[in-house]
Amino acid sequence: MTGRVARAATGALVFVLLALAWEAVSRAGVFPPKLFPGLGTVATTLLRLGADGTLLVAAGATLFRLFFGFLIAAVVGVVVGILMGRHAWFEDTLLPIVSFLYPIPGLAYAPLFVLWFGLGDVPTILLVGVASSFTVIINSWKGVKSVKVIWIRSAQSMGANDRAMFIKVILPAALPYVLTGLRLGLAQAWRILVAVEMLMSVTHGLGWLIFGSQQFLNTDVMLSSIVVIGIVGMLLESQLFERLERATVVRWGMMSA
């Protein structure tokens, strides 16, 4: 019991030090107080925006875009990745294109998407989908390629048809990689989305809240939004995929938790 308390105390220690440093910088007047508010101001703003629903609406709008953008990335990524892994023809034809487009930051397309599709939700969702699909493609492809040949051969010799082979052997065997790809893709979509919202002049959204507050030097609002972004990001990572992994690949003994 005391061990746990001591552990929590050491964990909290750095936060206390960071908070003290923040307060010190804020009070020393290195920056104008409007630009570097004290923690009390930030906490009050956070509570006020949380209570009047501003943060809730913004987070909802961002999550809505994240959901549809990631849906595009997941469907396109898994389908293309599996096709590339299964058929040499797809692999040979698409791999050069995928490997050239993969290292281009999705955000760099943002102004181009504005030219093509205008402003608002549609280009934002499309861009997030395109940008995060490459990670899913690459991981799904690697997953299918890494299926043990001996499993395929033994299924074949036991008379599995294409359908059974795909559903009972290839898909489950590739699933750890596919899930890793989806997890990385979601994280990437989340990171890009916040910035895309700043460039696409959408209405509502956490990125929009930060960018809009910059005009009025509302740093307390910006910091409150960043806090919410951190919390949502953490929940997405720890709640969604860890559960999914525990329910599938960990339970099947293909990965240790």
Partner 1 sequence: MSAKGRPEREYRSAQHEGTPVSAAAIIRHRRFYRGALGVAVLLACWEFFARSGMYSKAITPPLESILRQLASMIADGSILLHAGATMLRVFVGLAIALAIAVPLGMLMGRYPLWERLLRPVVSVFMPIPSLAWVPLVVLWFGIGNVATVLVVVYASVFPLLYQVWAGVRAVNPLWVRAATVMNANASQLFGLIIWPAALPFIITGLRLSFGRAWIAVIGGELLASPNWGLGKVIFDAAEFLNADVMLAALIVIGAIGLFFERVVFQALEAATVERWGMATSASR
Q: Which is nearer to partner 1, 16 or 167 (CB)?
A: 16
Minimum distance of partner 1 from residue 251's CB (angstroms): 24
Q: Which is nearer to partner 1, 154 or 214 (CB)?
A: 214
Minimum distance of partner 1 from residue 179's CB (angstroms): 18
Minimum distance of partner 1 from residue 157's CB (angstroms): 19
CB 55 within 8 A of CB 222: no
CB 73 within 8 A of CB 129: yes
Q: 197: closest CA among 49, 59, 53?
A: 59
Inter-CA distances, 189 with 18, 58, 148, 194, 241, Å: 29, 17, 31, 9, 14
Q: Which is nearer to partner 1, 42 or 74 (CB)?
A: 42
Q: Which is nearer to partner 1, 64 or 248 (CB)?
A: 64
Residues that bind partner 1 (CB under 8 A): 7, 10-15, 18, 31, 35-36, 88-89, 92-97, 99-112, 114-116, 142, 190-192, 194-195, 198-199, 206-207, 210-211, 213-214, 217, 219, 222-223, 225-226, 229-230, 233-234, 236-237
**Ramachandran region, residue 148 (left: φ > 0; alpha: ψ -120 to 50; beta: rest):** beta
Q: Please state, in angstroms and rounded to a whole number, the distance separating the CA atoms of residues 158 and 148.
A: 16
